[in-house]
Structure formats: structure tokens, C-alpha cells
A and B are shown apart, each in its own frame.
Chain A
């Protein structure tokens, strides 16, 4: 399917008197990785929540693949949008492979009756979901943990499981909420390589949008970076351009860079 990516057109969100997002205009083109950065409270998570339908915009429009987006959260997956949560947000009582299978729930075709009587359509769905989940786990190099419960695994592995779950439904837009959060330097390098492959998977054309604090990670994986400050977009462009933007340096990078050795 020809994707046109995600477009935010003048999105404004107000909570009472507080303006969390103001007139945000941003496009996430197909096949590109767009990073959103900004100081704490700049509105990054609100931006994700608007796209996911957890928060309704006060003004403005969202369009995905040329159509207006007004989703209820559980319909996102069907629309082709996947999201990871801050931390890991895995299902603690499900094994790793079941977690990934759960991510593709809406692709199952067999109905309730088939499940109740244990008929072949339901079994076929289960086998396909399990095979696809195992395939993904193998590609991520964590197939040996398939039947483990997430709680028993190291944090970097859990992060990968969460990413696999979000990918299981083969979304055309993938939202990553702080993918590098809590990871060490080595794991971040590996994650960066993995994230770089995401747009090209499953036939290509996938849009990826991520919110992240870890600056080196953002600068290395993103094709484009958007900077939020107090709910406003103050810069959008290539990582180099954003890095050199004086407004960005003043609002965010400047004070942060002073304390950095890199």
C-alpha cells in the first residue's frame, strides 16, 4: 500500500489554561525516521498521545496516509500504527512469544465461535501468529527467551521484546517512546543499528517517529529532527541543521552541551 506518512497540521492541545502543544506542524514521511527532542515538559509525550488518540487535540488536524486521523486507541493497530511505551510496558503474565503474538492480535481472522470450539481456523491463526512472532524474535537475536516471562529477563532484552511486539502487526507508522531510555552505551549502539533497519522492513516505506533524550542516539538514527520547547516547534530539519540552529542551542542544546564532554 502506498503510504503518505503522517502529517500534523496546526495541532494545539490545551489542558485547562495550560497549552501543552501549540500549532504544531510536522510531517513524518514514509521510509524516514523523525526524532522529537526537547526539554522535559516540552510536550513530546503529549504529541505521541495525540497521535494515539489518548488525548484529543483542541485544534488542528492529523492525517495519516491522506486520511484524517481520529483514532480510538485500540483501533490504531488496525490503522497501521504501532507504538512502544516508556519503559517496557510488557504483559508480565505472558511469555515473550505470547507478548509478541498479542501485538498482532487484530490480524487474527478466526472468530469467537472458532476459538470456543477449538476449530481449525482458530488453530491456523495461532500457528501463524506464533511463527511470525518467532521469526521476529530470531531476527532480533532473542529467540532463546521465547518461553521466558519478561520479568526474568535483562532490561535490554525486554526493550527488544517491546519493540518486537510493536512491530508484530507490521505497522506503517511506528512510534517509539524513549527507545534508548535505561540502556547502556553498548546496547544503545546496537539499538541504533536496529532502529535504522525499521523503515526498510516488511517491504519498506515505514515511517518511524521517536521521542528521545539521548542526543547521540537521536543524531545518529534520525533523518530529521524536530525540537519542541514549551509546546512549540522551534526547529525542524536534518540533525546537522538542528544542531547548529542558534534558537535550539539557546532553548535546549546550549545549556545541555556545556555539561557534555562529547
Chain B
């Protein structure tokens, strides 16, 4: 059996299980599941970039924004032109990925010449510059206000009272499973090995016949494509896009998520994506249980997730440098998500 077929079977099994889950949980939980799936696209791509190719990106939130804006713009254009249907949505998402791939290529070409803190600086600049871009071309991006995204109701064939959230969960999960399938294939191939070789020793990699710069750009492009799909799905979920939703904080959250989950492991990206959904929810519950003035509560709720995440990061780094997936690996001798 080929690698692709084996991974496809695992993906199909996961899809079947998740499908059952979407029927078992209420709409709000389905929405959270969908959000985690959209994050997973981005964290999976990011863990390959940072963990396997060894290139740091502080700008993946901005790459998600590129995907999100591209989906928003194309969805709305298609709707204006009278084009609707799920094929159109798929085309919009594909355009979102395409836009992110182009962005990844541009950043990657610059990144291949930079190392360590300089690379971090460039990607940071991308994240910081994003709101300014939406303001300068306000005619297209509507500055801080952002865009609303046209989303059709679930297909009529699913029934009259089919919840929108379940439909959104299906869309996001399909995207996340596709990303996981393709990345799992890639990681198992010589490209995955080349990424790790370049990360470990660039001179030795060159002598082994690996084109270091090309490998690094490729990692950026692949990772950006995944983040673009994640951003596009996020736009479909929230049915809006604004710079505030893709701030530097999101970029930092994504990075912390892949580190806490277990850097360089796709299973770690799953844990990270779940944390990105669970932690804000948890802090919301904590804040709600306290009796605070509305202003204090709002400020606390805005900052508490970051504080909790930061604290989790420190604890995980000290207690289990392999992240959550590292701990799980130690506890389970054999699992399909071992790589």
C-alpha cells in the first residue's frame, strides 16, 4: 500500500468519526469544532515551517488574513455576479489558498536569505503592516471595519432545519483533513527529510545535494498555503473579515500553540488548534464566575488568554519540551499520529 493510500484511509476514518461527532454535539460546540479545524490548517502548516524547516514566522496570522480577505473578496464578487453554489465556495477557498501561496513565496524568498532574529523581524513586520494595508487601500478592504462574507445556507438536500454550524463544521473539517493528509504525505517523503536536514545543518545539507534556499522557500510556500486555507475557512465561519481578527496576537497565539502542542509534529498541531479554542473559552468562564466591574471584566477577558497561554508555554517547556504530543507519544507506544 502506498503512503498516500494509507494516509487516505486514516483520513477517511477520522472523517467518519468527526461526522458522527458533529451530529452528537449542539450547534455552539459545532461552531467551536469548526474554529479549531480552521486553526488546525494554520498550525499544521506552521509546525512544518518552524519545527521541520527551522524557520520562525511571527506573521502567520497575517498570512491567514491574506487567505481570509481573498475568500471574502471573491465570495462577494461571485455573489454580485449572480454566481452561487458550493462549487463557487470551493473556488473562493482555492483563490484564498492561491493568494496565500503567492504571499508565502514573496516572504519565503526574502526569508531564504535571512536567519534567526532577522527572519523573525521580517515576518513580524508583515504582521504589523497588515492593518495599514487595509487602510491604505480602504476602497477594497474597508480599513478597520473590514468586509462581510457572503455565505449560502447549507444545501437544501441536507434538510430544511439543518444547522448552519454543523455545515460550517463540515466545511472546516474537510479543509483541515485535506491539509493534514497532504502534509502527512509530504513529511514522510524526501521533502520532509530535506526540511529537517536543512534545519539541522545547512552546509552538510548542501553537500548532500539539497538546494537549501529552494527547500526553505518551499517550506514557506506550503506553510502559507495551509494558513491561507485556515484564514479562508475562518472568514467563512465568522462571515466577516477585519484586521483586528488577524492581529499580531493571533500570530503569537499560533506560534505558542504549535510549541505547546509539540513542535514539528502534526499531532502537536491538533493539540495546539484545540488549545486555541479551549483556552479563550476557559478564561471566559473564569471571568464570568468572578464579580467584577464591566470595564475590568472586559480588560481581563481581553488579556487573560494571552497570560494563560504564556504561562502554559512556560510550564510545558520546563515539564515536557516535546509538548503535549511528546507526552502522548510517551504514554502510547503505537499510534497513527506518531509522526
Contact = CB atoms under 8 A, between A and B. Distances in A.
Interface of A: 52, 73-78, 82-83, 85, 89-94, 98, 101-106, 108, 110, 112, 114-120, 122-123, 125-126, 129, 165-166, 169
Given A116-B182, A118-B185, A122-B189, A74 B201 contact: no
Contacts, number: 115
Interface residues of B, number: 33
Contacts of A91: 196-197, 200-201, 204-205
B306 interface: no
Contacts of B184: 118
B203 A89 contact: yes
Contacts of B318: none
Nearest to B198: A91
Interface in B193-214: 193-194, 196-197, 199-201, 203-212
B299 interface: no
Interface stretch (B2-10, B84-92, B265-273): B2-10
A118 B196 CA distance: 18
21 contacts: A85-B203, A89-B204, A90-B200, A91-B200, A91-B201, A91-B205, A102-B194, A102-B197, A102-B210, A105-B194, A105-B210, A106-B210, A110-B190, A115-B185, A116-B185, A118-B7, A118-B8, A118-B185, A119-B4, A120-B2, A122-B189
Contacts of B210: 74, 102, 105-106
A213 B282 CA distance: 63
Contacts of B207: 52, 73-74, 76-77, 82-83, 85, 166
B11 to A, nearest CB: 11
* Interface of A, helix, strand, loop or mixed by DSSP: helix
Contacts of A106: 209-210
A83 B200 CA distance: 17
A98 B200 contact: no
A85 B189 CA distance: 26
10 A-B pairs with the lowest CB-CB distances in the bound complex, closest first = A118-B4, A77-B209, A115-B189, A106-B209, A118-B3, A118-B185, A91-B200, A73-B206, A89-B204, A74-B206
Given A115-B189, A118-B185, A123-B2, A90 B204 contact: yes
A101 B193 CA distance: 9
Contacts of A125: 190
Contacts of B78: none
Nearest to A54: B203
B188 interface: yes
A118 B191 contact: no
Given A119-B2, A122-B190, 15 more contacts: A76-B209, A77-B209, A82-B207, A94-B193, A94-B196, A98-B193, A98-B196, A102-B197, A102-B208, A105-B190, A110-B190, A116-B186, A117-B4, A118-B5, A118-B188
Contacts of A85: 203-204, 207
A105 B185 contact: no
Contacts of A98: 193, 196
Nearest to B222: A116
Contacts of B2: 118-120, 123
B315 to A, nearest CB: 24
